[in-house]
Structures are given as structure tokens and as C-alpha cells.
Chain A
Amino acid sequence: MVRKKKEDVYQEFIKGLWRDNPVFVQVLGMCPMLAVTNSAVNALAMGGATFFVLVASSFLVSSLRSWIPKQVRISTYIIIIATFVTVTDFTLEALVPTIHKELGAFIPLIVANCMILGRQEAFASRNSVRLAVIDALGMASGFLFALFALGSVREILGEGALFGIPLFGPNYEPWVIMILPPGGFLTLGLLLLFFNWVKERKDRLAAQLAEGEAS
């Protein structure tokens, strides 16, 4: 792969955050996305855990890329990812037991998050350590941002609160469905709609600009 220039490094980071956002554009990692985003705190914790696992795995996979034989690469990536996930699992249980209790089985399930394995296979195993880490930082931030967007919307509507602080007073009737699985699908659908609308609008504007310049 050709060495990237400075501005490309920035692009590498920003692509995960926005243009190729793992959730809103690639629609990856839906299981934790829908399952644990019933409150903003849970979403942040899940996003943080995934962030650590993705960045650490990308770093290691990229550093070891010339030693890992192609035939066993997927198994090796999974071993690396699973190790970091277990480390995260125990660390969270020791440091923030209440949040760990809420997230339950979904921390171990980060191993099966296709976004993480996808980044190893598609990027970290073919690029320099520096680029791999920047790519992982971008993707992980994008995932965290998406989780937080979903979690806060669902908590505000479903519990009438954000970070457990009531927003609308005692007379607010919580929209319970929003913190149940259907609410996750609903919110995700609406957010995808919004992101696609923004993208389409931007593309149309760019096309108009290009037309204007041409004429």
C-alpha cells in the first residue's frame, strides 16, 4: 500500500467518525447497538469498552501482521480480540460493578462484534501501525458516538431522563417502548433516515456547485 500523506491521515480518522460510520453507514455491530443502548450511561460504557478493544486489537494485529500466516489469521485475530475483551470484562467488573451488572452478557459478546474483526481484516492487517491505530480510533469514536446518540434518545423518551437525571418532571409518562427492543429498532431506523437525508442533501449541493462552476 502506498504511504499516505498528512491530510490522508486526517481523512483516515474522520471517515470512521462520519463518512463510513460503522453504525449509521456500514450498519455493523447491531447486536450491542440495539441491546444496550437503553440508557446513555450503558451506551457510553459499551462504546468505551468497544473503543478499547478495537484500538488495542488493531495496534497488535498491525504490529504482528508480518508474523501471522494468512491461513490462521482469522483465528489469531479472534484470540487477540477475545483476550482484550476478557481484560475489559474483568476490569469493568472490578472498577464499575454497577455498570458491569447492567451490561451483563454484552461485554463478552464484543468478541463477536463484526465491526472489530472487520477492521482487523480490512485495514489493520494491511497497513502500518500508525494508520491502523488512527483508523481504529476513528471507527471506535464513530461507534461510540452512534451508541451515545441512540442511548440518549432512548433514555430521554423512554425514561424521561438523561444520565438518570429527570428532565420533564414527575408528570411525564415514560414511553416504555423506547427502552425495549422495538424502541431500539425505531430509533435506529429514524437515525439512519436522518443520516441518509443529510448525505443526500450534501451530495445534491455538491452536484449543484459543480454544475454552477462548469457553466
Chain B
Amino acid sequence: MSGRPEVTMKGSEPTSTRLVVTLGFAGLLSGLIIVSIYEATLPTITAYKAKVLKEAVFKVLPGVSSMQRLTYRNGRMIAASGDEEEDDLVFGGYAADGQLVGYAVPNAGPGFQDTIRLLYGYLPQERKVVGMEILQSRETPGLGDKIYKDAAFVANFDELSIDPEIVTVKKGRKSAPNEVDAITGATISSKAVVQIINRGNQRWVPRFSGSETLPKPPPVGGQ
């Protein structure tokens, strides 16, 4: 690389106004371009996120043929009206005959590197977690990313009792139905996943069981 540039002035120094105008104009133009590209790509990005979420719901709740967004209000689970916070939503999964099978609960929490967002399927009748899908994670490649790349770890969540709560044990020591085999070399990430599910359960399980009337199934085809 060549050395420092020569900062020699040709003629007179530019006025401060000229400097401000140059930067202001550059900023304005840049802002316009960014807003346009944001507007142009937003529909595709939102559609993709919705698609990923929907696929994840069907994946963590086996045997479900339709789904709808649910929220908890006045002591029972009801269909979401659309103006709830992301945080207050779960997904109800329904069998072909319209019976509620279970709930898919999204939750997030701190991982080893960054926030982990996941979705897990829960069957209220059996008090069991029946599937887990990582939606977002920045865990270490090769170690922490096994929370979604290692099929054996993910399989831990295919049938997992939540009573009294889910615990991680050293790999290969799983003996009780509420235990999860941690990933060797990624204990923190494994514990983080379990922690996120436990927190989700603390919040939602009492609501599910307290809800006397089950939410009505969605119209055919789901959302």
C-alpha cells in the first residue's frame, strides 16, 4: 500500500457550509437508498420467516395438520387477534379431526454466544415435550451448533417429560424421562436450550392446564 495521501489544497479551503452540504447530501442519498432496498426486500424476508416458523411448528408437533396463533387472556387460551406481542403468542396444533393435539411454544434466552431462539412442541395431556427446533443461534461452529446439527441431541427432545423439570446430564448418562444428554464440549449451549424450555414451561404450562375450554380449531387449512 502506498503511504499517506497528500492532503494538499488546490486553491482556497472549502467553506464549512460546503463540507456540511456534502456530508448532508451523502447521508440523505444513502438514507433514501437504504429505505428503498428495505421496502423492496421486506415482503420476501417476512414471508420467508413466516414460512420457516410454520414449518417448524409442524416439525415439533408430529401428527398435526393445521395450526393457529393462540394467546392467553382472562384465564383461558384463545385465538390471537393479531395485535399481541410476539412474546404472548404460542401456536396451537390440531389433528385432521379438529382436535387440539398440542402447543408449539416459541421462547428465547441467552446461549453461549448470542440469544438462542427456539420452538418446542408440548403435549398438555401427557405433560411431555415432543420436539424442538432451533430458530436462531450463533453458537460456536463445530461445537455449540450441535444443538441443531447433532441429530442425537435433538432427538433428546422427541419424548421428554417435564416433571419436575428438564435437566441436563453428562452425555450417555440419561436414565430418567426428564433428562437430556448434554453435548460433549458444548455444555453451556446444551444447558441454555434446556433452560429456555424450562422457562417457557414455567410460564405456559400452568396456563395450558388452567384453561378449561380448549381453543376452537381454525378453519380448514389453518393459517
Let me know if A122 and B142 touch, CB within 8 A. Answer: no
Q: Find chain B residues with CB under 8 A from A125 CB.
A: 5
Q: Is A208 an interface residue (CB 8 A)?
A: no
User: Contact partner of A71 among B19, B27, B34, B185, CB < 8 A?
Assistant: B19
Q: Find chain B residues with CB under 8 A from A82 CB.
A: 30
Q: Find chain B residues with CB under 8 A from A5 CB.
A: none
Q: Find chain B residues with CB under 8 A from A76 CB.
A: 22-23, 26
Query: Which stretch (A86-94, A130-138, A190-198) binds chain B?
Result: A86-94
A126 vs B6: C-alpha distance when bound (angstroms) = 10
User: Contact partner of B142 among A80, A90, A91, A158, CB < 8 A?
Assistant: A158
Let me know if A97 and B30 touch, CB within 8 A. Answer: no
Max chain B C-beta neighbours (<10 A), residue from A20, A76, A95, A180: A76
Let me know if B44 and A94 touch, CB within 8 A. Answer: yes
Let me know if B136 and A79 touch, CB within 8 A. Answer: no
Let me know if A72 and B22 touch, CB within 8 A. Answer: yes
Let me know if A86 and B37 touch, CB within 8 A. Answer: yes
Let me know if B141 and A179 touch, CB within 8 A. Answer: yes
Let me know if B1 and A90 touch, CB within 8 A. Answer: no
Q: Find chain A residues with CB under 8 A from B9 CB.
A: 70
Interface string of A112-148 (1 = CB under 8 A from B): 0000001001100110000000000000000000000
Let me know if B41 and A91 touch, CB within 8 A. Answer: yes
Within 8 A of B (CB), among A152-180: 158-159, 174, 176, 179-180
Given A38-B142, A125-B5, A174-B142, A75 contacting B23 (CB threshold 8 A): yes
A95 vs B34: C-alpha distance when bound (angstroms) = 17
Let me know if A71 and B14 touch, CB within 8 A. Answer: yes
Dominant secondary structure of chain A at its interface with chain B: helix
Q: Find chain B residues with CB under 8 A from A80 CB.
A: 26, 30
User: Contact partner of B41 among A75, A93, A104, CB < 8 A?
Assistant: A93
Within 8 A of A (CB), among B1-48: 1-2, 5, 7, 9, 14, 18-19, 22-23, 26-27, 29-30, 33-34, 37-38, 40-41, 44-45, 48
Let me know if B30 and A70 touch, CB within 8 A. Answer: no
Minimum distance in angstroms from A177 CB to a CB of chain B: 8
Q: Is A68 an interface residue (CB 8 A)?
A: yes
Nearest CB in chain B to that of A181: its residue: B140
Let me know if A38 and B141 touch, CB within 8 A. Answer: yes
Q: Find chain B residues with CB under 8 A from A91 CB.
A: 37, 41
Q: Find chain B residues with CB under 8 A from A93 CB.
A: 41, 45
Q: Is B167 an interface residue (CB 8 A)?
A: no
Q: Is B169 an interface residue (CB 8 A)?
A: no
Q: A69-B14, A76-B22, A121-B5 are in contact. List 8 more A-B contacts (CB 8 A).
A: A20-B1, A68-B22, A72-B23, A90-B45, A91-B41, A94-B45, A94-B48, A158-B142
